[in-house]
Amino acid sequence: MKYRSRVTAAGVAMATLALAGCGGAGGTGNSGDSAKIAMQTGSDRTKALTAGAKKEKHLLWYTTMIPDQLVEPLVKAFEAKYPYIKVDYYRGNSTDVAQKTVQEYKSRRYKVDLVDGTGTSSLLKEAGVLQPFKSPQLADYPADLKASDGYWGTELQYFMALAYNTKSVKPSEAPKTYEDLLDPRWKGKMAWSTSDTSGGPLFLGNLIDAWGKTKADAYIHKLAGQKIANLDSSGRAVIDQVVSGQQPIALEVFNDQVEVSKAKGAPVDWVPLNPVTAQLSRISLVKQPPHPNAAMLFLDFMFSEAGQKIIQAGGGIPGKPGVDAEVPKLKPEKGGFKAQYMDPDTTFKQTTQWSEIYKQNFVG
């Protein structure tokens, strides 16, 4: 199950409303039993989960992670620890995962157990497709990296930064602050993605959230005069243009992706602009999972040091405190930068507003 479909956020929203209008998931299923399993605590918890998982023998995970770097190593390690559980997965982006899950629940087909992604949890929580859970492995995660109501935990982090071509821009002259971006020397020499959930819109949303609308509006008005190039492409493609020298500077790109290119000898480096936009990939338990015991064991594994070190080895930025990224400076505690953790549900709801501000100031 390693295919993906192409859908739009609007399509997910329409399906979400349709599902909510039908009264949520409804139908038959084991939602009552799974709720007890998801919220159980105590010294015999793992023993009970293990006994249940041996009967279930299976687990289905809808994920946004890169298969060869992260998904398959995690599955291999989990199956080695629990050889009686077979893990299958489907891979897509956050919208794909949410759309697929919503469509299945509308058809009363309860196949998936776990879902993840940056926006997936917000979409599916609104649709009534998720349920809260408790994992002892989340005890040492800070409040920013787990839901106060138990609907998700963070398995991966992403930090957005400024990237620059080291042949075009001297390290000593590269912008170090948001104010530095207003220097006339950078007019027409910067670019970002037009993506609603990253690039320009997210850059502006981060400042609005950090500074307040009045200060952010004044800054945005000045920044608009810098003629930033709008690239209708992914953040990775924007970095590639910096690597090739087509763009001297890129804004709001993933710092770990810059490090990957840098490690391969590309003339590129990154600078954190404080506060740095922090994005979270969150994993959640669906409302009617067919394999709730196996799902809870997988969640425990994902949040544990062992699971997080697999993410580290695959080049991801682990969520767990104390587990560094493979390049330690990618995380704020070792990189010396301040991360702005915006509430994911609030971010989801404000994306449209931020996109409008972006279009009004930087498009056309």
293 located within any domain? yes
If we measure between CA atoms, which residue out of 97, 65, 3 comes closest to residue 307?
A: 65
Across all residues in the chain, what is the average pLDDT? 91
Give the tens place of pLDDT for each residue, 274-287: 999 999 999 999 99
Q: Are residues 60 and 135 in the same domain?
A: yes
Q: Give the whole-angstrom CA distance, residue 122 versus residue 285.
A: 13
Q: Are residues 255 and 287 in the same domain?
A: no
Please give the share of the chain, as a percent, with pLDDT higher than 90. Answer: 83
Q: Are residues 356 and 254 in the same domain?
A: yes
Give the CA dihedral 214, 215, 219, 224, nearest 10 degrees: -20
Q: Give the whole-angstrom CA distance, residue 244 versus residue 234.
A: 16
Least confident of 20-34, 35-49, 106-120, 265-279: 20-34
Q: Are residues 74 and 120 in the same domain?
A: yes
Let me know: does 11 contact 123? Beta carbons within 8 Å.
Answer: no
Give the tens place of pLDDT for each residue, 60-106: 999 999 899 999 999 999 999 999 999 999 999 888 999 999 999 99
Angle (CA) 310 312 315, round 5°: 110
Query: Residue 21 above 50 pLDDT?
Result: no
pLDDT given at position 172:
97
Q: Give the whole-angstrom CA distance, residue 320 versus residue 313.
A: 14
Name 280's Cβ contacts closer than 8 Å, sequence gap at least 6.
118, 145, 154, 156, 157, 158, 319, 341, 344
Q: Are residues 44 and 68 in the same domain?
A: yes
A 10 A CB-CB count for 215 gives: 12
Say how many domains are in the chain. Answer: 2
pLDDT given at position 31:
59
Q: Are residues 124 and 61 in the same domain?
A: yes
Let me know: does 114 contact 106? Beta carbons within 8 Å.
Answer: no
Residue 23 C-beta-side C-alpha neighbours within 13 Å: 3
1 located within any domain? no
143 located within any domain? yes
CB-count burial class (<10 Å; 0-12, 13-18, 19+) for 293: buried
Q: Are residues 285 and 219 in the same domain?
A: no
Query: Residue 341 above 70 pLDDT?
Result: yes
What mean pLDDT comes out for the span 236-255? 96
Give the tens place of pLDDT for each residue, 202-228: 999 999 999 999 999 999 999 999 999
Q: Give the whole-angstrom CA distance, residue 94 versus residue 341.
A: 19
Let me know: does 206 contact 342? Beta carbons within 8 Å.
Answer: yes
Question: In CATH, what number is assigned to the domain containing residue 297?
Answer: 3.40.190.10
Sign of CA dihedral 248, 251, 257, 259: positive
Q: Are residues 295 and 255 in the same domain?
A: no
What mean pLDDT comes out for the span 114-133? 94
Q: Are residues 13 and 117 in the same domain?
A: yes
Q: What is the pTM of this model?
A: 0.85
Q: What is the CA radius of gyration of the chain?
A: 21
Q: Are residues 33 and 145 in the same domain?
A: yes
Residue predicted with more confidence, 343 or 142: 142
2 located within any domain? no
Provide the greatest CA pair distance for the chain. Answer: 66
- Which single residue is written with the structure tokens 């809260």? 132
If we measure between CA atoms, which residue out of 315, 193, 324 comes closest to residue 263?
A: 315
- Rounded to the nearest 10 degrees, the angle between the axes of helix 305-313 and helix 72-81 is 150
146 located within any domain? yes
Q: Are residues 144 and 284 in the same domain?
A: yes
3 located within any domain? no
Q: Are residues 137 and 186 in the same domain?
A: no
Query: Residue 24 above 80 pLDDT?
Result: no
> What residues make up the domain containing 256?
159-278+337-362
